[in-house]
A and B are shown apart, each in its own frame.
Chain A
Amino acid sequence: MTTAAKTNVLNLSTEEFVHPGNRACSGCGLSILYRIGLKALGRDCIFVVPPSCLTVMQGLFPIAASQMPILNGTFASTAAIATGVRAAMKRRGKQTQVVAWAGDGGTADIGIQALSGALERNEDIIYICYDNEAYMNTGVQRSGTTPQGGLTTTTPYGKKEQGKNLPEIVAAHNPAYVATCSASYPLDFHDKLLKAKQISGLKYIHIQTPCPPGWGCEERMTVKIGKAAIDCGLFDLYEIEDGKKQLSEPSRKLLKKAKLPSVQEYLSMQTRFKALSDEQIAVMQERIDQKWADYRQEFCAE
């Protein structure tokens, strides 16, 4: 396993690639990620962005909020476009990093076949999915990753089905690198991007991104909610390199705890879970407990 340098707040670059006054909502989790992520990626990059909140955030003609070259494509073809851009760069003899940055709808639902194809071909790109667990940009419609029981405008009584576990679907393709991140740990994301830049082949990064208008919380709670999701064990940060899974620091320290905080705490911070019944919460808690029992067996035995 390659080890990357640990970035902290003090040695994080002050060079900014995103301008203030962009169209992102107040308290947007994606804005934090985009700002800090670009610091890790640097200037030699081309972005491929399908319709998503990022398209809105990057700006409408004639002003762009981002300083990076961005190619906007269609929902279904993000990974395919990135493949093409990478091939063109290779033809020109350039090392330019191609980054596909899509939302959960553009990755889990509409764009999954293009992503699956690119994964199979092991294209040399970074694919980032920021998962805000619904189609937030168009007004909070349910997506494939919306958790069970979540309220959206198209599931007014709560979603019946379970959300997809996208990073595991991607990991089943055996790509070079898979990692999960959270908007509440931007430095962890920064370090994982630095690592991904060094690896050839397809690098997939999945980020849980709290969205105040969609999740129904105060804008100031964005970072707190992301942390609560990790602390209760619902969402876990890990990286899979060469098929070997390793928990990242914020999740690894949970292994030492005998009992994790109840998921109820995380759920009650958001209005989208207010339709959940006690039984549904108990089932959710049971699943989390089972997952962490498996993790303890897997990682503590070594």
Chain B
Amino acid sequence: MPDSRFKVLTSASTSGPGDAGRTGSWRVERPIIDYSRCTPAKTGKASCHLCWLYCPDNVVSKTLEPKIDLEYCKGCGICAEECPVKAIEMVSEEQFVKGGEDE
């Protein structure tokens, strides 16, 4: 059977972010990182990175100062729970709405 016959039958999706939309809107609590306590940010050396390892949604960066992509962060709080120095705090989203910073 020629290969072209198979191509007709495929219905492949294209790969990209945001399959479920901007999942940041699911969030109830927002993770805020205190860089004065975060080990890699404080020492300036690559270390720890557990927030990046355990993030289920691939929104934490593996950088000296970890950055969280709030557009897609679902706010599960695993990073805050697993941070060995408790540098991440989960803050209610309500505060940001009142401040007019709603994203």
Q: Which residue numbers of A lie inside 8 Å of B, CB to CB?
A: 9-10, 12, 14, 16, 18-32, 35-36, 59-67, 186-187, 212, 218-224
A64-B15 contact given A32-B56, A223-B82, A224-B81, CB 8 Å threshold: yes
Chain B residues lying within 8 Å of A66, measured Cβ to Cβ, are 15
B78 and A20 contacting across the interface, CB-CB below 8 Å: no
Interface residue total, chain B, C-beta cutoff 8 A: 42
Once A14-B62, A26-B26 are accepted as A-B contacts, the answer to whether A19 and B81 lie under 8 Å apart by CB is no
Question: Would you give the shortest CB distance from A212 to chain B, in whole angstroms?
Answer: 8
Partner of A64, one of B14, B21, B23, B81: B14
Beta-carbon contact of A28 and B56 below 8 Å: yes
Let me know if B56 and A23 touch, CB within 8 A: no
* Given A16-B58, A21-B72, A26-B76: A61 in contact with B23 (beta carbons within 8 A): no
> How many angstroms between the C-alpha atoms of A187 and B54 in the bound complex?
10
Which residues of A lie under 8 Å from residue B19 when comparing CB positions?
A: 19, 21-23, 59-60, 63-65
Closest to B52 in A: A9
Instruction: Please classify the interface of chain B as helix (H, G, I), strand (E, B), loop, or mixed, using the class held by over half of its residues.
Output: loop
Q: Which residues of A contact B74 (CB under 8 A)?
A: 25-27
Q: Does the CB pair A12–B11 fall under 8 Å?
A: no
Pair B18/A63 contact, Cβ less than 8 Å? yes
Complex: A234 Cα to B13 Cα, angstroms: 40
Would you list 12 pairs from A and B whose C-beta atoms are within 8 A, ordered by A residue? A20-B69, A21-B18, A21-B72, A22-B57, A23-B20, A26-B27, A26-B74, A32-B54, A64-B13, A65-B17, A65-B19, A219-B77
Beyond A9-B48, A32-B55, A220-B78, 14 additional contacts (C-beta under 8 Å) are A14-B62, A18-B58, A19-B17, A20-B57, A20-B59, A20-B69, A27-B56, A27-B78, A61-B11, A63-B13, A63-B16, A64-B13, A218-B77, A223-B81
- List the B residue with the shortest CB-CB distance to A220: B77
Contact with A along B35-64 (1 / 0, CB 8 A): 000000000001111101111111100100
A14: chain B residues within 8 A (beta carbon): 62
User: Which one of A18, A30, A67, A186 contacts B53 once the chains associate, using CB atoms below 8 Å?
Assistant: A186
Residues of B within 8 A of A24 (CB): 56-57
Given A26-B26, A220-B77, A20 and B11 contact (CB-CB distance below 8 Å): no
Distance in angstroms from B93 CB to nearest chain A CB is: 13
B87 within 8 A of A: no
Alpha-carbon distance between A20 and B52 when the two chains are bound, in angstroms: 13
